[in-house]
Amino acid sequence: MKLHKIFQSIALSICFAFLAMTFLLISTEDVSAKVRVVGSIPDFAAIAQEIGGDKVEVASLSKGYQDPHFVDAKPSLILVLNKADLLLYAGLELEIGWLPPLITGARNSKILRGNIGNLDCSTLIPRLLEVPITKVDRSLGDIHPGGNPHYWLDPRNGIAIAKGIAERLKEIDPENASYYDERLGDFVRRLSAKIKEWDEKLAPYKGTQIITYHKSWVYFSDWAGFEEVGFVEPKPGIPPSPSYVADLIRKIQQMNVKLVIEESFYSQKAPDLIAQKAGASLLVLPSEVGGRDGINTYSELFDAIVGEITSKLANHGKG
Ligand SMILES: [Zn+2]
């Protein structure tokens, strides 16, 4: 009889222990259940981190020093997408060569087009540039039929992107809506103040003629008031031939071109030659967060770009 009682109490305490553990597990899971956000490029991930704070876990599929048109579709990226609650991407076919197969491989219905976890950030941009008015034909090069996809290089668009991301986070995680709103407000205030500061730095250089490697700086130039007078690529995505480079040099020798801008993942050979012949300075600039060590936020990206451009232009012609 006594033995029976002892067994009963042991069994009961084991039951309680299990129950307690289960509750503990459930509650810790609830507390730590972060919204998993994945950006196709680090800029979207960085903005999402600023809006989501400790309620999100962010990752980027590509690195800021990689050409965003051509990313290696590694199997590890499929795993990242498989667990994602929200996918942020540039759209306008920027990622057409690598993102669709990754999404298919991920087998995650949350991030499929039309679902709440799929955010094409181009839909947030109030004014897209270079939207073709005639039918697009691939012979024109890597032309994007919906417009130029490099819109994150105008910081004013960063505000629109942040607002769109906050809206989605609130839909996915309504319990923390006021947290996201508060952080969005803070982000917009900080970025707006920086934009004012960059505007003032760039103001003396309005109308500066530049040449860029790829048509990836059109939004930046539109904001900074620069005039793009030529491109190292004859057509987007197509590297220049020697005769094209010679023609471009002839064309620009009479012009007052001050800057040639390119990203580090493009060859410097032709841009170097063009800059020399035009009497211009060549600037190899980061175009994304993580494009260089020390650029970890969206704002730091523009600090670097605006800082380098304005100091180059201030010293131009001073030998
Ligand atoms: Zn492009």
Residue 233 CA to its chain's centroid (Å): 22
Tell whether the torsion through CA atoms of 45, 47, 53 and 55 is positive or negative. Answer: negative
Query: Does the domain at residues 33-198 carry the CATH identifier 3.40.50.720?
Result: no
> Is residue 3 over pLDDT 60?
no
pLDDT of residue 145: 77
Q: Is the pLDDT of residue 48 over 80?
A: yes
Average pLDDT value for residue range 285-312: 98
Please report, for residues 23, 184, 214, 267, 287, the alpha-carbon distance to residue 291 in angstroms, rounded to integers and kept in the order given. Answer: 45, 24, 16, 16, 6
- Is the pLDDT at 196 greater than 90? The verdict is yes
| Mean pLDDT of all residues in 262-274 | 95
CA 5 to centroid of ligand 1, rounded, Å: 76
Q: Is the predicted pLDDT of residue 55 greater than 60, yes or no? A: yes
Give 158 Cα–ligand 1 centroid separation in angstroms: 18
Q: Give tens-digit pLDDT for 6-31.
A: 666 656 565 555 555 555 554 445 55
Lowest mean pLDDT: which of 119-128, 138-147, 270-279?
A: 138-147
Is-contact 89 219, C-beta < 8 A?
no
The Å distance, Cα 204 to ligand 1 centre, comes to: 28
- How many Å lie between the centroid of ligand 1 and the Cα of residue 144? 8
Q: What is the pLDDT of residue 256?
A: 86
For residues 118-131, average pLDDT: 97
pLDDT digits (tens, 9 = 90+) for 204-239: 999 999 999 999 999 999 999 999 999 999 998 899
Distance from the alpha carbon of residue 147 to the mean position of ligand 1, in angstroms: 10
Using the mean position of ligand 1's atoms as its centre, give its distance from the Cα of residue 83 in Å: 28
**Which architecture does CATH list for 200-315?**
3-Layer(aba) Sandwich (3.40)
Please report the pLDDT score of residue 27 as a whole number. 47
If one counts every other C-beta atom within 10 angstroms of the C-beta of residue 214, the result is 22
For the chain, where do the domains classified as CATH 3.40.50.1980 start and end? 33-198, 200-315
Mean pLDDT of the chain: 91
- 90 C-alpha vs ligand 1 centroid, how far in Å? 11
| Cα gap 247→187, rounded to integer Å | 45
